[in-house]
Structure 1
Amino acid sequence: MATHVKLTVTHYRRPEHTHEAFMKWIVEEHLPLAIPVFKRCGVINYSLFDTPAAMNAELKANMGGHRAAWDYADFDCFIEYTLNDVKNIGQFLADPDWAKSIEHQEEWVDTSKALMSIGYITPYLLESGEAVNVPGL
């Protein structure tokens, strides 16, 4: 069974910025500096899950009757890093160009609310429709 390390981070924007401006900062200013660091330091996949408030409100309205006890996330984005090894995290954090890529982070991100998680990811259904790593399939 193939597994990779997955590191996730949720981010809330600072209140003086709109969601759209925040996402634009990540994509247009942060990522052009960060992607070369990721490539050098063993990050094999990076995904940015944009979670606009309007979509979350609609989800809550539609799912409320089915899952009334559930809570609904209100962060602005969910970032996923896929790595071959946990040591890759230390490699990109120690890279001097990483510091440059996040030098304006405090202006944009409410870091007091960030939530991180780490673990292993194992695919079970691929985009191709192929089921993998499932016994009996």
Structure 2
Amino acid sequence: MSEVPESRPVKFTITHYRQQQHSHEAFIDWIVEEHLPLAIPVFEKYGVIKYCLFVTPPSQNGALKEEIGAFRPTWDFATFDCFIEYMLPDMETIKKIMSDPDWQVAVKDQDKWVDVPKALVSVGYCTGNLLDKNQ
């Protein structure tokens, strides 16, 4: 198995499904307005390089499945509400954040909002983006 090269930052991702009693919009509002103001200082404390909340509205995913599904009938289309990407200095940063008491405060309400057992986590590294016009 290939390891993340020490010279590269680590990309850590997680998908989240909302608890069904909440609308997609209310769920995203909770993340942006309640969770992130508590989480960002923790990210800054541990040198998180980048954070991206990729919002996946059901209406757009449904439309994509309807249109592209005709061309790719074997594809499985994601139904999660958001995909979060972190770019971290190293693997150890994940453990540091998760064990920080301030992080525990930042995620104190997650069981009310997030269907935690359905989360999908991945870790790896980027090799570059040749099409990124901003680099």
| Matching of residue 30 in structure 1 with residue 21 in structure 2 | no
- 1:63-90 per-residue CA deviation (whole Å, 9 max, x = no partner) reads 0121111010000000001011001111
Name the aligned partner's letter for residue 10 of structure 1.
Answer: T
How well do the aligned residues superpose, as a CA RMSD in angstroms? Answer: 1.6
Q: Distance in 2 between matches of 1:74 and 1:19?
A: 11
Partner of 2:22 in structure 1?
17
How many percent of aligned residue pairs carry the same amino acid?
53
Which of 95, 98, 103 is residue 100 of structure 2 equivalent to? 95
Q: Distance in 2 between matches of 1:121 and 1:12?
A: 25
Is 1:127 equivalent to 2:135 in the alignment?
no
Aligned pair count reads 130
Compute the displacement of 1:126 (Å). 5.1
Describe how 1:1-137 pairs up with structure 2 within 5 A: 3-125=8-130, 127-128=132-133
CA distance in 2, matches of 1:50, 1:98: 22
Distance 1:114 1:129 in 2: 31
User: Once the 2 structures are TM-superposed, how far is the Cα of residue 94 of structure 1 from its aligned partner?
Assistant: 1.8
Q: Which ranges in structure 2 are unaligned for 5 or more consecutive residues?
A: none
Instruction: Report if the CA contact (8 A) 1:4-1:122 is conserved.
Output: no
Residue-by-residue CA offset, 1:71-127 (whole Å, 9 max, x unaligned)? 100000000010110011111112111000000000000001111011111222253
Give unpaired runs (5+ residues) of structure 1: 131-137
Classify the secondary structure of the residue corresponding to 1:8: strand
Q: Distance in 2 between matches of 1:129 and 1:91?
A: 31
* Paired AA for residue 69 in structure 1: T
Q: Secondary structure at the match of 1:30?
A: helix
* 2-structure distance, mates of 1:129, 1:84: 21
Cα offset, 1:129, TM superposition? 6.0
